[in-house]
Structure 1
Amino acid sequence: MKFTIVGKNIDVTPGLKAAVEEKIGKLEKYFTPDTNADVTLSVEKERHKIEVTIPVKGKIIRAEQVSNDMYVSVDLVEEVIERQLKKYKSKLVDKQQAEASNFKKEYIETDYMDDEDIRIERMKKFDPKPMYAEDACVQMELLGHNFFVFVNAETDQVNVVYKRKGNTYGLIEPEV
C-alpha cells in the first residue's frame, strides 16, 4: 500500500507519518499492493482532523475524524475505514456486482469563497460514470454521505440518490 500524506497547518513529522502508515497499513489485507491511500492532516485551533481517501475496485472509501489530538484522530479514522471495508465486502458478497459501477477515483477539492451572503466552502469535481441507482446507494453509504450524484445507467441522465428517514432512500430524476 502506498501513502500520500499531506499536512495543512501542521508539519508531518516522521513520527506522525509512521503512526498514520502503521494504523492505516493494518488495513492492507483489504487492498492490492499498488493501492494508494491519500491522507490529509489538518489543524484548526484545537481541531486535529484527518481525512483518508482510498479507491477500491471502482469505489471510493473515504473517512474523516476530528479530535483534540492528531494521534487520536488517526486511531478513530482507522476504525471507521475498517467498518466501511467490512460493510463493502459483505455487500459485494451479497450482490456479486462489483463491476456494475465505475466511479472514477479522481476528484478535485478546492476551497471557494464567495463575496456575497452565500458561501460555498468546498467544491468537488468528478467524472461520473454510469451506474444503477442501487449501486449509487452503496457508494453513498461507503462515503458516509446523505446524498450521491451519479449518471443513471438506465436513462443516461444525471440523478441523485439521498437518504430518507427510516433508513430508506430517495431518487431524484430530471423530467425531460
Structure 2
Amino acid sequence: MDIVVTGRHTQIKQKFRDVVESKMNRVTAIAPDAQRVQVVLTHEGNPRQADSAKRVELTVIAGKTVVRAEASSADEFSAFDMALDKLTLRLRRTRDRRKDHRRGLERLPMPMDMPLEKPQESVVEPEEQNSAQQDAMASDLGPGQSVEVQVGDTPIVIRRKLHIAEPMSIDEALYEMELIGHDFFLFVNKETNRPSVVYRRHGWSYGVFEIDTPEHMAEAKK
C-alpha cells in the first residue's frame, strides 16, 4: 500500500512520517485491498485558532471505494490519531456492508460526523483570474480534474470539477455520501437515469433531489 504524506503551509517532519507509517497497519488490517493512503497535514496560521492549528485529512483508495476522514487539534499527532479513529470506523462500516451484501442484505447508512473538504487539485492564481475566468469555467475538464476561479474582486470562489461515476441506487448513493463524510452526494439514479442529489436533513432523515428538463420529459411521454 502506498502512503503519500504532504503538507500545506507546513513542512512534514520525519517523526510525523514515522508515526503515520507505524499506524497504517490499522488500515490494512480492516481494508487489506487498500492501494493508497493520502495524508495531508495543514497548518492554520491564525493565532486565534491555536487549538485547531493542525488539520489532518486521510483518504484511503481501495479499488472504486474512497473513504475519507479529517480532524483538527493543537498538534499534528493528536489530529492524526483522531482522524485515524474516524477513518477506521468508516472502513469497518464498509467491510460490514460488503458482508451484508454477500448475505443478500441491505443496510441503511449510519450518520457520521462532520462534512469534509476535499483537497484542491488545481487553483487559478489571482493574477490570472480576471483574464482567464470565462475560459476556465467554459473549458473541458478531464475526469477528476477541477478548477477554482475567483469572481472579480469579491471573496466568492467558484469551483468546478468533473466526476465520472456509474449509475447507482438511492441507497448506494446514501452509503457513498457517508463514506466521504459529506452532507450531500451527487449521482445518477439508475432507476430514472436522472442526475440526482441525496442530502442529510435532521437525525435519520434524508432527502433526494432529481433534475430533468421539460424537453426530456416530453420525449419520455411520447
When the two structures are superposed, what TM-score results if normalisation uses the length of structure 1? 0.83
C-alpha offsets along residues 13-35 of structure 1, whole Å, 9 cap, x if unaligned? 21111111222332211234661
Q: 4+ residue stretches of structure 1 with deviation over 4 A?
A: 108-112, 121-124
* Matching residue's letter, 1:72: S
Q: Could you say which structure has the higher strand fraction? A: 1
In 2: Cα distance, 1:65 partner to 1:123 partner? 25
Do 1:151 and 1:159's aligned partners in 2 also have CA atoms closer than 8 Å? Answer: yes
Structure 2 residue 186 is the aligned partner of structure 1 residue 149: yes
User: Which structure has the larger Rg over C-alpha atoms?
Assistant: 2
Identify the residue that residue 166 of structure 2 maps to in structure 1: 129
Do 1:137 and 1:161's aligned partners in 2 also have CA atoms closer than 8 Å? Answer: yes
Query: Which structure 1 residue ranges, 5 or more long, are not aligned?
Result: 98-105
* Matching residue's letter, 2:167: P
Q: Could you say which structure has the higher helix fraction? A: 2
C-alpha offsets along residues 111-146 of structure 1, whole Å, 9 cap, x if unaligned? 543335462375544222211111010010111111
Do 2:184 and 2:199's aligned partners in 1 also have CA atoms closer than 8 Å? Answer: yes
In 1: Cα distance, 2:62 partner to 2:175 partner? 13
Identify the residue that residue 72 of structure 2 maps to in structure 1: 66
Q: CA RMSD in A?
A: 2.3
Task: Write out aligned runs for 1:70-109 (5 A).
Answer: 70-96=76-102, 107-108=144-145
When the two structures are superposed, what TM-score results if normalisation uses the length of structure 2? 0.67
Do 1:23 and 1:74's aligned partners in 2 also have CA atoms closer than 8 Å? Answer: no
Question: What displacement does 1:37 show?
Answer: 0.6
Identity of aligned residues (%): 26
Do 1:61 and 1:142's aligned partners in 2 also have CA atoms closer than 8 Å? Answer: yes
Do 2:34 and 2:63's aligned partners in 1 also have CA atoms closer than 8 Å? Answer: no
The number of residues matched between the two structures is 168
Q: Which moved more, 1:119-128 or 1:42-51?
A: 119-128
